[in-house]
Each structure stands twice: as structure tokens, then as C-alpha cells.
């Protein structure tokens, strides 16, 4: 499928005749990035898949009313982030497991996960990330793995650049300390 710009995709979607083609283009451009954004927060593939499907259906239902105030990319990321946080909060409420047990569970879960083949360092990094507050984890992932600029993160999370820099700095320090202590 030919790669189209955001403007072209939106123009297709706004024309009822080309709407489905426009949505296909949107999926081609963004579904993978959105998946990894969600997966890094959700960890589990099945959870990430469920969240992503909900996100894409939500996007389909509301894209015709997307006003273009923000970039398409920012809008999609915002929906994906909100949907992921809502999912994780619901899951957290159901869970009665303490943080320490959660980390052990995470390690066992990742080791048994057919869709995780990370090294010892990558496993420790995931454990370190799991100990961060949700917002810091989100900011760290977006900066470290997705390499987004602070401006982009600021638009997605609707948080000031200064606050994001502070979040990232704290997160990186904590992760460094944990990984240093646990990786030979």
C-alpha cells in the first residue's frame, strides 16, 4: 500500500467514498507504532492486542470529527495512552498482590512469555520499569524507547516540558540504580 501523509489520510477519511481506504492507510501508518506504545505499558501481548483493538475502533468512530487542532499522530497517541492507562488501572484495582510479589510474578511471567525473548539486562530493565509510578514509566518509555521529543510528549500527555524533563530524569536515575544493582 502506498504511504500517504496525514493530510491525505484525513482527506480520504472525510470523503465517504474513500473512507475505508483512508482508514486502511491510517492502520498501515500507525498501528505498529501504537501497538509498541501500548505493549511497553501493558507488557502482555494479549492485553496490548485488546487495548489496541479498542483504540482503533474508537479512532474509527471519532475520526470523522477529528478537527485537526493537533497532529493526527498526537491525537492517536493520546487515545492509545488514555485507553492503556484506563485498562491498567482497572487491572490494578482487581489485583491484591503486593509490589514485591508483583515483581516476582512479572519475572516469571516474562520468562514464560513466548513473546518475550529479552536478555537478562532487558528483563531487569522491565522489572525496574515496573517499579516506577505510571506517569514516569510512560514518559521514560516515550523518550527512551520511542525517542519522541519533549514537545511531542508534552502534546500527547498535556503536561509541561519542564515537568516531563523532571519525570524522565527521576525515572532514568531510578532505573540506572536498579539495573546497576541487579546486573552483574
Interface positions, 53-72, toward another protein (CB under 8 A) = 53, 56-57, 60-65, 67-69
DSSP for residue 142: I
DSSP for residue 18: T
Among 92, 95, 101, 149, indicate the residue that binds another protein (CB under 8 A): 149
Among 7, 20, 71, 86, indicate the residue that binds another protein (CB under 8 A): 20
Query: Judged by CB under 8 A, which stretch of 10-18, 96-104, 131-139, 155-163 contacts another protein?
Result: 10-18
**154 in Cβ contact with 161 (< 8 Å):** yes
Query: Judged by CB under 8 A, which stretch of 52-60, 86-94, 101-109, 130-138 contacts another protein?
Result: 52-60
**165 in Cβ contact with 136 (< 8 Å):** no
Judge residue 84's burial from the number of C-beta atoms within 10 Å of its C-beta, 0-12 exposed, 13-18 middle, 19 or more buried. buried
- To another protein, the closest distance from the beta carbon of 96 in angstroms equals 27
Report which of 158, 146, 135 is spatially closest to residue 89, judged by C-alpha positions. Answer: 135
DSSP for residue 64: G
Query: Judged by CB under 8 A, which stretch of 83-91, 93-101, 156-164, 171-179 contacts another protein?
Result: 171-179
Interface positions, 21-50, toward another protein (CB under 8 A) = 23-24, 27-28, 31-32, 35-36, 39-40, 43, 45, 49
Amino acid at each position: 500500500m502506498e504511504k500517504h501523509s496525514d493530510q491525505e489520510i484525513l482527506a480520504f477519511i472525510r470523503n465517504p467514498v474513500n473512507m475505508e481506504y483512508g482508514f486502511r492507510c491510517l492502520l498501515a501508518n500507525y498501528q505498529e507504532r501504537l501497538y509498541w506504545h501500548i505493549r511497553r505499558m501493558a507488557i502482555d501481548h494479549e492485553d496490548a492486542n485488546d487495548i489496541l483493538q479498542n483504540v482503533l475502533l474508537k479512532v474509527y468512530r471519532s475520526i470523522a470529527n477529528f478537527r485537526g487542532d493537533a497532529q493526527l499522530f498526537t491525537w492517536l497517541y493520546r487515545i492509545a495512552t488514555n485507553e492503556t492507562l484506563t485498562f491498567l488501572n482497572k487491572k490494578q484495582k482487581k489485583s491484591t498482590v503486593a509490589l514485591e510479589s508483583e515483581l516476582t510474578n512479572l519475572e516469571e511471567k516474562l520468562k514464560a512469555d513466548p513473546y518475550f525473548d529479552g536478555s537478562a539486562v532487558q528483563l531487569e530493565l522491565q522489572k525496574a520499569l515496573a517499579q516506577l509510578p505510571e506517569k514516569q514509566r510512560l514518559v521514560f518509555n516515550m523518550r527512551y524507547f520511542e525517542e519522541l521529543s519533549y514537545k511531542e510528549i508534552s502534546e500527547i500527555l498535556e503536561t509541561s516540558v519542564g515537568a516531563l524533563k523532571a519525570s524522565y530524569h527521576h525515572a532514568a536515575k531510578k532505573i540506572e540504580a536498579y539495573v546497576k544493582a541487579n546486573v552483574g
